[in-house]
Amino acid sequence: MSDGPTLLARVEIPLVNPNEPEVQVIAVAVEPYSEIAVGDLLCTVETSKATVDVEADHAGWVGEVLVREGERASAGDLVCGIFDERPEPGAARPTDGPSTPPPGVRLTRKAEKLALEEGLDLSTLPTGRFLTESDIEAIVGRGREAAELDAELIARIGERSIVVFGAGGLAKSLIDLMRTTGELDPLCVLNDRPDRLTDVLGVPVLGGREYLGPLRELGVAFAVNAVGAVRRIEDRIAIAELLDERGLEQPTLVDPAAFVAPSATLASGVQVFAGAAVCSGATIGRSVIVNTNAVVSHDCVIGDFVHVAPGALLAGEVEVGRATLIGMGATAVVYLKIGESVIVGNGAVLNEDVPDGTIVHAGGIWPRP
């Protein structure tokens, strides 16, 4: 007696374009629980640059069909399972594939399979871009290289050594800030994105996150989050959490040319740049950026991962929710409440409270897409 249908294959949305992981499903050509042959058309998907037919590579019976014509889907999403015999409706969703990656980690099924075979922790993989099999191969290779750190760099490790994670403009600003204060010594830069940089202001670029473990084991205690992520604050949050997981302390950094009142409170990882003012009684949350010439007036409460951009002005007792961007030159009058995950455009003038998840331009407020 049969124990029920056996899964022969999982059919997934292909990665048509590494820079465009989402597709539009423009046609579904198969009925649920129908019999199919090798090469039968299952669905057709489209990106901005290509249209691709998804065909069956096994003969058998289709289970539940999980895509719908006209809907969006992502590479790696399940289209259907193919079984050796006709499954019963409602009992044909494949469940024996690799586990679902953590939130923010996006990779093809082949990439996920390779990552698991290599023993990689999926939660440690880069976010903010779609990972392919070649990306995983590169990460594995760099991990092996990280086990053999340069002897000269190892000799430089001391109590004040700090890792800079990120290689863009914010990294440059932070390196200059730390050199100005002299309290911490930038040892190296780590960067997940393949920018092919050899150094940032003379600080060597080693590679990506695979170096965090070896550096921590060698005694490096500090790291600074140099991922500004103006458009994707989720990337900055993910790096902060990664540094926490690796046991690296994220110090609060204040440029000597900034003003921070004695009664203000700054959480870990806060970065205050030259010309900025954090005034009496202000409370600044974790990993907040108070950028050049920005003003956070008395008794403001700024949530975690907020970015107050250059020249922004928050009047007294303004509250700003988590992961919000206050754009360059924007102003907010006293007592305002600005919600979480808000984007306040450059030069906007806020005279009323702003709800969560909205975009504020000079001309008005719109829901965030």
The string of DSSP codes covering 85-127 is SPPPTTS-----SPPPPPTT-EE-HHHHHHHHHTT--GGGS--
The residue that leads in pLDDT, 14 or 243, is 243
Torsion of CA 35, 40, 44, 47, to 10 degrees: 130
What the block records as the tokens of 233 is: 């604050």
Q: Per CATH, is 7-96 categorized as 3.40.630.30?
A: no
- Residue 88: the pLDDT is 80
- Residue 363: the pLDDT is 58
- Residue 368: the pLDDT is 46
Could you tell me the fold of the domain covering 151-245? Answer: Rossmann fold (3.40.50)
What the block records as the tokens of 335 is: 């007592």
C-alpha to C-alpha distances, 197 to 185, 187, 190, 208, 213, nearest whole angstrom: 20, 15, 10, 12, 21
pLDDT band at 72 (very low <50, low <70, confident <90, very high): confident
pLDDT at position 99 over 60: no
Rounded average pLDDT over 58-76:
87
pLDDT band at 369 (very low <50, low <70, confident <90, very high): very low
- Cα 62-67-357 angle, rounded to 5 deg: 155
What the block records as the tokens of 189 is: 């830069």
What does the domain layout of the chain look like in residue ranges? 7-96, 98-148, 151-245, 253-367
Supply the mean pLDDT for the chain.
Answer: 86
What the block records as the tokens of 167 is: 């290689």
Q: Which residues pair with 365 in a beta bridge?
A: 360
Q: Per CATH, is 253-367 categorized as 2.160.10.10?
A: yes
- Residue 269: the pLDDT is 96
Q: Taking the complete model, does pTM exceed 0.95, yes or no?
A: no
pLDDT at position 187 over 60: yes
Given a contact cutoff of 8 angstroms between Cβ atoms, the answer to whether 303 and 285 are in contact is: yes
Lowest-pLDDT choice from 187-191, 209-213, 265-269, 298-302: 209-213
The residue that leads in pLDDT, 350 or 126, is 350
pLDDT at position 43 over 80: yes
Q: Which helix (H) or strand (E) holds 278?
A: strand 277-278
pLDDT at position 283 over 90: yes
The residue that leads in pLDDT, 15 or 26, is 26
- Residue 171: the pLDDT is 95
pLDDT at position 293 over 90: yes
Lowest-pLDDT choice from 138-147, 148-157, 212-221, 342-351: 138-147
Task: Name 344's Cβ contacts closer than 8 Å, sequence gap at least 6.
Answer: 312, 324, 325, 326, 327, 330, 332, 338, 350, 354, 360
Q: What pLDDT, in 10s, does the model give residues 226-245? A: 998 666 788 899 899 999 99
pLDDT > 90 in the chain, percent: 53
- Residue 117: the pLDDT is 76
- Residue 136: the pLDDT is 79
Q: What residue type is assigned to position 234 of the chain?
A: E
